[in-house]
């Protein structure tokens, strides 16, 4: 079974990523960290491709499969942020978060049958889920930046706020794209753009909270108070992604596969 091989790919990828973080702190040159991070990404993607071929469809259906993509995307976002703004700590935290999700997948991959139900056999399947998971990863990086800012440790506060702002704006763009794609897909599959499904409601709450943050940042309100909205919104995002399935109202949800 392909998932049994995941631990080998995961350990190798984490070895490269952790070595890359160490190289960032120990070396002034970027060549070695770049090689390490890219090598880890290549190994991780190799497993995704292998799983994709084995399943006969992109591994985006189960919770374990979405965690797989999140583990990859959070490292890539941290890496891009390091390249752009040279924040070593964000790369380190992103790798740590990825490691947590990888460990969860090793212990509980949540394997289901390889087949896709008819509603998921849609051209919207890949872009909708991929854009959502990418937005989750970006918002995760923004949350890390906001928590470091709120802790007041070690980095320039003004620069941290700028990073958080940029990540939230980009992440919200992807989040709204995912919602729009989902609405079009829902219309094709079930005849309605929006049904106030529990997952849809929490997605709306999440997007609205991030939107409130963006608007409040343009006002002269206590900055620390505003920054608390980012981890709060991320909590709502985690409820949308992981928590809704455990709600009693989710029993008849169209998002339960």
Residue with tokens 């108070």: 225
Helix axes 125-151, 88-107, angle to 10 degrees: 130
What is residue 3's predicted lDDT score, i.e. its pLDDT?
A: 85
Domain boundary among 78, 113, 148: 113
Say whether both 69 and 179 belong to one domain.
no
Domain boundary among 113, 141, 167: 113
Say whether both 101 and 219 belong to one domain.
no
> How far apart (Å, rounded) are the C-alpha atoms in residues 237 and 33?
31
Say whether both 13 and 86 belong to one domain.
yes
Say whether both 32 and 67 belong to one domain.
yes
pTM: 0.86
Say whether both 29 and 106 belong to one domain.
yes
Say whether both 105 and 129 belong to one domain.
no
Say whether both 98 and 58 belong to one domain.
yes
Say whether both 121 and 48 belong to one domain.
no
What is residue 74's predicted lDDT score, i.e. its pLDDT?
A: 95
Count of structural domains within the chain: 2
**Closest by Cα among 138, 125, 3, 139 to 65:** 3
Structural domain range at position 16: 1-113
Say whether both 157 and 230 belong to one domain.
yes
Cβ-based neighbour number of residue 223 at 10 Å = 13
Say whether both 72 and 49 belong to one domain.
yes
Say whether both 162 and 43 belong to one domain.
no
Cβ-based neighbour number of residue 195 at 10 Å = 14
Say whether both 105 and 166 belong to one domain.
no
Domain boundary among 79, 113, 147: 113
CA-CA-CA-CA dihedral for 230, 17, 86, 28, to nearest 10: 160
pLDDT per position in the chain (257 positions), as tens?
688 899 999 999 999 999 999 999 998 889 999 999 999 999 999 999 999 998 888 888 888 899 999 999 999 999 998 998 888 888 899 999 999 999 999 988 766 555 666 666 777 888 888 999 999 999 999 999 999 899 876 557 778 899 999 999 999 999 999 999 999 988 887 788 888 888 889 999 999 999 999 999 988 788 999 999 999 999 999 999 888 877 766 656 666 65
């Amino acid at each position: 079974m392909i998932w049994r091989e995941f631990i080998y790919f995961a350990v190798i990828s984490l070895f490269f990523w952790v070595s890359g973080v160490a190289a960032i702190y120990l070396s002034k040159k970027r060549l070695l960290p770049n090689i390490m991070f890219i090598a880890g990404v290549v190994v991780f993607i190799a497993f995704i491709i292998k799983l994709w071929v084995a399943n006969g469809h992109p591994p985006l259906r189960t919770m374990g499969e979405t965690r797989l993509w999140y583990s990859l995307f959070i490292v890539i976002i941290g890496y891009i942020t390091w390249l752009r703004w040279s924040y070593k700590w964000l790369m380190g935290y992103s790798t740590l978060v990825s490691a947590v999700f990888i460990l969860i997948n090793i212990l509980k991959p949540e394997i289901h049958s390889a087949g896709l139900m008819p509603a998921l056999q849609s051209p919207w399947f890949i872009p909708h889920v991929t854009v959502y998971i990418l937005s989750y990863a970006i918002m995760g990086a923004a949350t890390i930046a906001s928590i470091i800012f709120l802790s007041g440790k070690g980095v320039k506060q003004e620069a941290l706020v700028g990073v958080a702002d940029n990540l939230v704006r980009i992440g919200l763009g992807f989040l709204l794209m995912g919602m729009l794609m989902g609405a079009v897909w829902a219309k094709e599959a079930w005849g309605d753009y929006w049904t106030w499904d529990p997952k849809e409601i929490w997605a709306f709450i999440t997007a609205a909270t991030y939107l409130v943050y963006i608007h409040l940042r343009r006002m002269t309100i206590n900055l620390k108070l505003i920054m608390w909205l980012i981890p709060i919104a991320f909590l709502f995002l985690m409820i949308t992604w992981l928590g809704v399935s455990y709600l009693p109202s989710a029993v008849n949800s169209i998002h339960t596969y």
